[in-house]
Amino acid sequence: MAEPYLPTLITADPEAGFQLAIKMSRLGVKFTQPSAEIRAKLRPIYEESADSLIWSSQVVATNFQTVAQANNFWR
Amino acid sequence: MAEPYLPTLITADPEAGFQLAIKMSRLGVKFTQPSAEIRAKLRPIYEESADSLIWSSQVVATNFQTVAQANNFWR
Amino acid sequence: MAEPYLPTLITADPEAGFQLAIKMSRLGVKFTQPSAEIRAKLRPIYEESADSLIWSSQVVATNFQTVAQANNFWR
Amino acid sequence: MAEPYLPTLITADPEAGFQLAIKMSRLGVKFTQPSAEIRAKLRPIYEESADSLIWSSQVVATNFQTVAQANNFWR
Amino acid sequence: MAEPYLPTLITADPEAGFQLAIKMSRLGVKFTQPSAEIRAKLRPIYEESADSLIWSSQVVATNFQTVAQANNFWR
Amino acid sequence: MAEPYLPTLITADPEAGFQLAIKMSRLGVKFTQPSAEIRAKLRPIYEESADSLIWSSQVVATNFQTVAQANNFWR
């Protein structure tokens, strides 16, 4: 990863913050499984598993807490 | 998604905040599995699984923490 | 739900706060599975599963964090 | 439960706080499964399951966060 | 346990804090399963299960949050 | 471990913070399973399991919350 993947936690609005939280959740997976090929192989598994999707949403929720705090909740 | 899906974390009261937390939990799923068709196929699975419902409630609880903090707990 | 189900996060004391956290945990389930009939069918499943009970207690703990903060920990 | 089960989150020291967090974790189970008989039946199951014990410890950790904050970390 | 097992959350540095978080995670297990014999029997199970190790690390992460806050992040 | 493994939570920027969160998540595993040989044996299991990767990302998200707070969100 030559270019920066997480330059800042500050975003323009909640939506951009939510997208950042999704990106961070994927980064957490990416650094544990760096092979794009294996991740591609796993995608249809978790994308069609109800529980995997719920757990993914849990990771996003946790990362969004961090991003929202960093942005003082965009108040 | 042409229209904004998360314009603000500020809500009128705890109930509106709880509904927002539910929406955010679904958005976390939606962005991982964008196909409405597959999500519809999965719905009867998690809706009739006690554990899936508990884990869904965990995601809502986490998102509600964020929303409640953003609204200074509606104090 | 015609009557308000979450009018405030403020409670008289920690016990009332704990009851509210339990209510919120159930609301998280209720909004995902609105059918009272199906929820009733699932109840004996999670009520007799050690792990389901532990995960339920995790949801309550998360919601109680929010309620306790809202009440400034009843200090 | 006639007598108060959660009168305060304030404790004398971290150890008493940890004991309170354990109690709260059990209360979360108790209110979901009020039958002492069924809980007794489930005890040997989760007490001899490594994963159940880890998840129980997660609930205690979450409740302890709340208790520790309430006590300003006993600083 | 005659001697104190959690006298303070204050530690000299992040490493001592991380060790405390590990100790707290084990205490959460210990109080749920007090038998050292059964815990010893379970050890090889979770120590050789990838998922059990990940969940253990989650408990440590949660406890470390508490310890880090107590120590004002050792800033 | 002769050399310090967690000297500080302060990092130059969010990316270095994310790397620290990953390191902390691995430390949580390492202290529960100190054998490098067994960890190496387990790696292909969790690296090719969609759910294990999601749970790993959850641990990273939790540790990143701590690191981000310690760094005042690099604001």
- Which residues from chain E sit within 8 angstroms of residue F53, using beta carbons? none
Q: Does F13 lie at the interface with A, CB-CB under 8 angstroms?
A: yes
ipTM entry: 0.95
Report the domain count for chain E. 1
Domain residue limits at F46: 14-74
Q: Nearest CA to CA, how far is D39 from chain C (Å)?
A: 8
Distance CA F9, CA F26 (A): 15
Q: Tell me, what's the pLDDT at A2?
A: 65
C49 assigned to some structural domain: yes
The pLDDT tens digits of the residues spanning F33-47 come to 999 999 999 999 999
List CB contacts of B49: < 8 A, sequence separation 6 or more: A50, A51, C42
pLDDT band at F2, cuts 50/70/90? low
Round the CA-based radius of gyration of chain A to a whole number and report it: 14
Distance CA C64, CA F32 (A): 29
Contact call for D15 and E7, based on CB within 8 A: yes
A1 assigned to some structural domain: no
DSSP label of B72? G
B1 assigned to some structural domain: no
pLDDT band at A1, cuts 50/70/90? low
Contact call for B53 and C33, based on CB within 8 A: yes
> Chains touching chain D at 3 or more Cβ pairs under 8 angstroms?
C, E
Average pLDDT (E6-31) is 98
A7 assigned to some structural domain: no
F53 assigned to some structural domain: yes
The pLDDT tens digits of the residues spanning B49-62 come to 999 999 999 999 99
Tell the burial category of A44 from Cβ atoms under 10 Å away from its Cβ (0-12, 13-18, 19+): exposed
pLDDT band at F1, cuts 50/70/90? low
B5 assigned to some structural domain: no
Chain F interface test: which of A22, A35, A39, A59 (most F C-beta within 10 Å): A59
Find tokens 């997208």 and name the residue.
Answer: A19
Q: How many CB atoms lie within 10 A of CB D70?
A: 22
Are the C-beta atoms of residues C64 and C9 closer than 8 Å to each other?
A: no
Distance CA F73, CA F13 (A): 9
Do the chains E and D touch each other, judged by at least 3 C-beta pairs below 8 angstroms?
Answer: yes
- Which residues from chain A sit within 8 angstroms of residue F60, using beta carbons? 28, 31-32
Distance CA F71, CA C64 (A): 27
The chain-wide mean pLDDT, for chain B, equals 96
The chain-wide mean pLDDT, for chain D, equals 96
- Which phi and psi angles does B37 have, rounded to 5°? -65, -50
pLDDT band at B3, cuts 50/70/90? confident
Average pLDDT (A54-75) is 98
Distance CA F50, CA C65 (A): 30
C52 → closest Cβ in B50, B61, B64:
B50
- Which phi and psi angles does C8 have, rounded to 5°? -155, 155
Q: Nearest CA to CA, how far is F2 from chain A (Å)?
A: 25
Scanning B15-54 for CB atoms below 8 A from C yields 15, 18, 22, 46-51, 53-54
Helices (H), ranges, chain F? 14-32, 36-47, 50-70
E63 assigned to some structural domain: yes
Q: What is the pTM of this model?
A: 0.97
Are the C-beta atoms of residues A75 and B75 closer than 8 Å to each other?
A: no
A47 assigned to some structural domain: yes
Average pLDDT (F66-75) is 98
Q: Does E57 lie at the interface with D, CB-CB under 8 angstroms?
A: no
